[in-house]
């Protein structure tokens, strides 16, 4: 049975996404309780309004954290791709130079005969 290697950065992004989704669920649940009504006590209403505000703020903060992690990961992938392309360009240039030199050497040998 093969084990799958998980990039720790990808795992961190997935954890951040899960935290964000859980916070969204909490904010939704708090907002649902608030809209259900039935408040006889103004203090209870204010407390629930505060919980909704805190839950929304927490959800937004976790979303920004998730977005930031994902953006950094994407930028790292792009940078690695650019480095790889740079290496491939140099390798192609070296091969072309070697073929050119071999061609020149072959022409010189043919002319010398």
* pLDDT tens track for 49-70: 899 999 999 999 999 999 999 9
CA gap 48, 90 in Å, rounded: 63
Please report where in the chains the tokens 């992690």 appear, as a residue: 69
Are 59 and 24 in contact, with CB atoms under 8 Å apart? yes
The set of residues, in sequence order, having a beta carbon less than 8 Å from that of 110 and lying 6+ positions away, is none
Q: What is the pLDDT of residues 65-102, one digit of tens each?
A: 999 999 999 999 999 999 999 999 999 999 999 999 99
CA gap 113, 66 in Å, rounded: 71
Give this prediction's pTM: 0.68
């Amino acid at each position: 049975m093969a084990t799958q290697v998980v990039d720790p950065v990808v795992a961190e992004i997935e954890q951040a996404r899960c935290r964000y989704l859980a916070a969204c669920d909490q904010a939704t649940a708090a907002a649902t309780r608030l809209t259900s009504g039935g408040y006889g006590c103004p203090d209870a209403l204010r407390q629930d309004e505060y919980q909704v505000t805190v839950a929304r703020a927490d959800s937004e903060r976790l979303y920004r954290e998730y977005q930031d992690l994902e953006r950094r990961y994407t930028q790292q992938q792009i940078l690695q791709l650019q480095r790889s392309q740079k290496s491939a360009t140099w390798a192609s240039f070296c091969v072309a130079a070697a073929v050119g030199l071999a061609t020149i050497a072959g022409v010189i040998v043919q002319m010398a005969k």
